[in-house]
Amino acid sequence: MNEYLAGLTTEQTNPDTLAIDECSTEQMLRLLSQEDAKVPAAVAEEIPQIVKAVELLYRTLKNGGRMFYVGAGTSGRLGVLDASECPPTFGVDPDLVQGHIAGGDTALRTAVEGFEDNAEEGMALIERCGVTADDAVIGISASGSAAFVIAALQKAREIGAATIGVVNNKRSKLEAVCDICIAPVVGPEVIMGSTRLKAGTAQKLVLNMLSTATMVKLGKVYNNLMVDLKASNQKLEDRTIRILQIATGIDAESAKAVLEKASMNCKLAIMMIETGLPAPEAQAALDRSGGNLKAAIRAYSKVG
């Protein structure tokens, strides 16, 4: 028996759910809900570490680097999910935030759990992705023992990239290869070892924090509006119109007209409305402020 794995919190039996197989449906669901309710507090305890990680990621992306999520199984799928949502939400290039799972894209739909033990493939992934010292790699592993993830972080560290770990056990193997380790401990799972449950939920919350806070700091949000979203479908185009209305107070018809002049660029449209500048001058003002809309409007107001 592997003593390391046997000692992990995520591998323990939960004394509160020992008779779950004898519960009514409602009792079962209440047990699940009670256990899930423990997750936010565990994540909140890790906010000091998450702050460090966000500051590191912000500096990395601001200076032209990229961020990579690397994981296996549920952890890998969550990384891919968070990365894939960044382009439509924040208007970033798909290469800026990347998600990679042990076993490749096939593993997103079909479990290939054996790949998590492949250290060589973890190192090869970092090489294939062209990770450099300018980048940051976030390794995700509930147990903190996935050889694929540990090896990927080790290789990234050798290259000089920043390394962050997201794990659900303290003093894990993963922690040793991380510059920053985020470890929300949520206790034993409702079903022993099923880390797709509380551990996965905690990881999702942490990844939400990492990507969202980093993008806010990069100026991808105006107030609490996603002004860099890409209006790639009817729902998002309608949302863009509403964002313009909320941000500037103009009516829907006027918002649509300005949006068309701004080539469907929400941030540019707001800049044009708030300053009265035509598109080229408004874009130049945004560029001078590093794409930060609020800073660009304030700078223009001072000059005006």
Residues annotated as part of the active site: 85, 116
How far is 54 from 40, CA to CA, in rounded Å?
18
Half-sphere exposure of 117 (CA within 13 A, CB side): 3
Strand extents, DSSP E, 87-242: 97-101, 136-141, 162-167, 180-182
Please say whether the beta carbons of 126 and 154 come within 8 A: no
Distance CA 97, CA 86 (A): 7
Structure tokens at 252: 């829907």
Alpha-carbon separation of residue 87 from 83, 91, 184, 210, 230 (angstroms): 8, 5, 27, 15, 8
- Cα–Cα distance, 301 to 298 (Å, whole number): 5
DSSP state of 179: S
Considering only CA atoms, which of 146, 207, 201 is closest in space to residue 8?
146
Within 8 A by CB and 6+ apart from 203, the residues are 74, 75, 78, 140, 142, 166, 168
Can you point out the beta strands (E) in the chain?
A: 67-71, 97-101, 136-141, 162-167, 180-182
Query: What is the per-residue burial (b if ≥16 Cβ within 10 Å, else e) of 112-149?
Result: beebbebbebbbebbeebebeeebbbbbbbbbbbbbbb
| One-letter amino acid for residue 293 of the chain | L
Query: Residue 242 is encoded by which pair of tokens?
Result: 């509403």
